[in-house]
Amino acid sequence: MDMSDAVIVKSSRLKSVVWNDFDRIKKGDTCVAICRHCKKKLSGSSSSGTSHLRNHLIRCQRRSNHGVAQFITSREKRKEGTLAIANFNLGQDQNRDETLSLVNIKFEQTQLKDESVNAGTSTFDQRRSRFDLARMIILHGYPLDMVEHVGFRVFVKNLQPLFELVTLNRVEADCIEIYEKERKKMNEMLDKLPGKISLSVDEWTAGGNAEYLCLTANYIDESWQLRKKILNFIRVDRFHTEDMLSEAVMTCLMDWDIDRKLFSLILDSCSTSDNIAIRISERLSQNRFLYCNGQLFDIRCVINVLNIMAQHALGAVSEIAEKIREIVRYTKSSQTVQAKFNDMAKEVGILSQKCLFLDNPLQWNTTYSMLEAALEFKDVFILLQENDTSYRICLSDVEWERISTVNSYLKLFVDVIEIFTRSKFPTANIYFPELCDVKLNLNEWCKNSDEYISSLALRLRSKFDEYWEKCSLGLAVAAMLDPRFKMKLLDYYYPQIYGSMSPGRIEEVFEGVKALYDEHSIGSPLASHDQGLAWQVGSGTLCLPSSTKDSRDRLMGFDKFLHETSQGEGVKSDLEKYLEEPLFPRNVEFNILNWWKVHTPRYPVLSMLARNILGIPMSKVVPELAYNNSGRVLDRDWSSLNPATVQALVCSQDWIQSELEN
């Protein structure tokens, strides 16, 4: 359009704020609105309204009060695409230069139609934007009061003047609403689970000496993926009793209606946990919800046990370890001493790449590494003692021998924990061989000629045996469900551990497996209704017709009779077929969950058992806290909020992160 003879219209009737960014030009009978930033021409007639002008301002890249161009780096401009939801990485090493398309991320499955964002028209929606802000705060753990920070409010107002700024109370209410919607989805998912749930219990601390109980559901879903979701994050009294904790756990189970789905309970290794597990198992046993008379219910976190053992070992040589800290401090006290130390290291022929450093008392693996480095330079320290009059710290030969022995114990614990925490699929089957090695090593350590060391080894073995007595059945059953090993792993390790008693121990495990299999194979109240009443008889599948609970109860005896007589007639069960078939070849990339997913049609009953057993988290410690002595601590900003809000934020964050990762 030729605008040479057009004139700018200035009228008091132009009340909308959009005219601060547009010039209204009139040529003849036609009115045009020209953007003052990008000079784009749009309809300016009064009949067209101003909605299309507002939409343009949202998209206009040259708008002066946005300054978007100043914030987009040349590297970001070169990006060929946006980050899809499937590739969204929540780790700390996320590439800051990647452009995140928030429009493509759907946190809610059931968005309201009037909340949708159309990338083509960029229609602004206040409610949608408000909840995007709340989700951002939840997802990244930001403080809620950030919405009242001056810098944030200025940034948002310049970025989108149409957005109505919210208060702390408003964003808190939005977070609660998001939690309620996500909780409803979680409830529906738990109700449809094909298998059982193993519940891990953790204690967290917060500001002001507050304590929280974190309950996490661990399970294998319908696609045979290992999952874990936080169900509750509840405030507990600092002076809580075992009754109070067990009641809190039971209340949460009933609230989620998953008491009938609970398979095992994972706790830390302490006397308090013993009583909590007993109280809860007694409640569940009244309704016959537990398999195998509850023998697999009480599970202790193996990394917690190893950490306690490591602390016992370090405590036994604490005075020697403190001397080594003093040696390290002296060696690094000046450049002169450091140079003398380096010269002596060359003199005695030590070419170690390790460096001396001080440990972090809250991370016992750093103490192990400090001692390991010091032991490498043992001869240098002895030479330094002979040639440096200022060096007055000395260790006797016995002390060097003891610290070396104890550090070899710590090395085993570190190696085992590393295997558990680096596993991509930390299913229950990976633990048995490693813990058998720990038990065998403990037996050898107890034979040490140094009475001080053998006494320590006996204490460590006693602690480990407490764990082994509770959890060895579950560990062995999980190993048996690994098609690369089956019963052969027990045949290999148990004679080394139990000697002449091994046949009886192996038989105990086999009887336990058969009992579990029978409980899964017959239509008993022990199996969830989602698993159904189907079980394998020969090559066919018997499925009782759908009927009332009373009818199923009346036929329970018939189920058992048919199952027993069918076996007596020579028909092989899933379990028998599985154990008779050859072992699957060992492979580094082997994924046991994929194997069971593929073989579910062949072993329909045994696969139900495998789903429940392999889903038990034998360790509930996150990798970054594997050696931490201080426990989990709630973020300071969230600690000041009321307990109901804290639970909403922690649970919602976990659920949204899981959705993004999946």
Question: Of all helices (H) and strands (E), which one includes residue 218?
Answer: strand 210-220
Q: Please write the tens of the pLDDT for every residue from 522-568.
A: 743 333 333 333 333 333 333 333 333 444 466 777 777 776 666 55
Neighbours of 303 (CB within 10 A): 22
Rounded to the nearest 5 degrees, what angle is found at the Cα of 358, between the Cα atoms of 626 and 209? 50
pLDDT of 557 reads: 74
Average pLDDT over residues 211-238: 95
Model confidence at 192: pLDDT above 80 = yes
Rg (CA), the chain: 33
The candidate with the shortest Cα–Cα distance to 221, out of 177, 185, 189, is 189
- Report residue 172 as tokens: 């808190």
Q: Rounded to an integer, what distance in angstroms lies between the CA atom of residue 314 and that of residue 629?
A: 13
pTM: 0.77
Q: Please write the tens of the pLDDT for every residue from 584-624.
A: 998 778 999 999 999 999 999 999 999 999 999 999 998 98
Question: Of all helices (H) and strands (E), which one includes residue 429?
Answer: none
Model confidence at 253: pLDDT above 50 = yes
Q: Rounded to an integer, what distance in angstroms lies between the CA atom of residue 62 and that of residue 290?
A: 66
Q: Which amino acid is at 651?
A: C
Average pLDDT over residues 148-152: 96
* Alpha carbon distances (Å) from 247 to 250, 307, 483: 5, 28, 40
The candidate with the shortest Cα–Cα distance to 401, out of 438, 345, 452, 461, is 452
Q: Rounded to an integer, what distance in angstroms lies between the CA atom of residue 103 and that of residue 419?
A: 40
Region for residue 350 given its phi and psi (left: phi exceeds 0; alpha: psi -120 to 50; beta: otherwise): beta
The torsion of the CA quartet 162, 167, 168, 169, rounded to 10 degrees, works out to -120
Q: Which of 356-360, 420-424, 537-541 has the highest mean pLDDT?
A: 356-360
- Report residue 271 as tokens: 């006397």
- Report residue 603 as tokens: 């072993």
DSSP 8-state secondary structure symbol assigned to residue 193: -
Q: Which amino acid is at 242?
A: E
Confidence of residue 251 (pLDDT cuts 50, 70, 90): very high
Hey, what long-range contacts does 21-30 have (CB within 8 A, 24 or more apart)? 21/53, 21/57, 21/60, 21/63, 22/53, 27/1, 27/2, 27/3, 30/1
Distance, CA of 224 to chain centre: 17
Contacts of residue 5, Cβ cutoff 8 Å, sequence gap at least 6: 27
Q: Rounded to an integer, what distance in angstroms lies between the CA atom of residue 262 and that of residue 132?
A: 35
pLDDT of 567 reads: 57
The sign of the CA dihedral 519, 520, 524, 525 is: positive
Contacts of residue 597, Cβ cutoff 8 Å, sequence gap at least 6: 223, 224
pLDDT of 69 reads: 37
Q: Rounded to an integer, what distance in angstroms lies between the CA atom of residue 41 and that of residue 508?
A: 84
Contacts of residue 107, Cβ cutoff 8 Å, sequence gap at least 6: 135, 178, 656, 659
Find out whether 440 and 498 touch, Cβ atoms under 8 Å.
Answer: no
**Half-sphere exposure of 137 toward its Cβ, with a 13 Å CA cutoff?**
28
Instruction: Kindly report which listed range (327-331, 410-414, 619-623, 658-662) carries the lowest average pLDDT score.
Output: 658-662
- Report residue 18 as tokens: 């959009």
- Listed in sequence order, the DSSP H helices in 446-603 are 451-480, 488-498, 502-521, 549-554, 556-568, 574-580, 592-599
Find out whether 291 and 525 touch, Cβ atoms under 8 Å.
Answer: no
Model confidence at 138: pLDDT above 70 = yes
Instruction: Kindly report which listed range (25-39, 233-247, 548-562) carries the lowest average pLDDT score.
Output: 548-562
Q: Which amino acid is at 208?
A: G
Hey, what long-range contacts does 48-57 have (CB within 8 A, 24 or more apart)? 50/16, 50/18, 53/16, 53/18, 53/21, 53/22, 54/18, 54/124, 54/162, 55/121, 55/122, 55/123, 55/124, 57/18, 57/21
The candidate with the shortest Cα–Cα distance to 186, out of 155, 156, 225, 227, is 227
Mean pLDDT taken over the chain: 84
pLDDT of 7 reads: 64
Q: Rounded to an integer, what distance in angstroms lies between the CA atom of residue 84 and that of residue 406?
A: 50
Q: Which of 13-27, 202-216, 464-478 has the highest mean pLDDT?
A: 464-478
Q: Rounded to an integer, what distance in angstroms lies between the CA atom of residue 223 and that of residue 594?
A: 9
pLDDT of 350 reads: 84
Q: Which of 4-21 are b and which e, b meaning 16 or more Cβ less than 10 Å from the residue's Cβ?
A: eebeeeeeeebeeebbeb
Instruction: Kindly report which listed range (16-25, 68-77, 292-301, 427-436) carries the lowest average pLDDT score.
Output: 68-77
Find out whether 324 and 370 touch, Cβ atoms under 8 Å.
Answer: yes
DSSP 8-state secondary structure symbol assigned to residue 583: P
Model confidence at 45: pLDDT above 90 = no
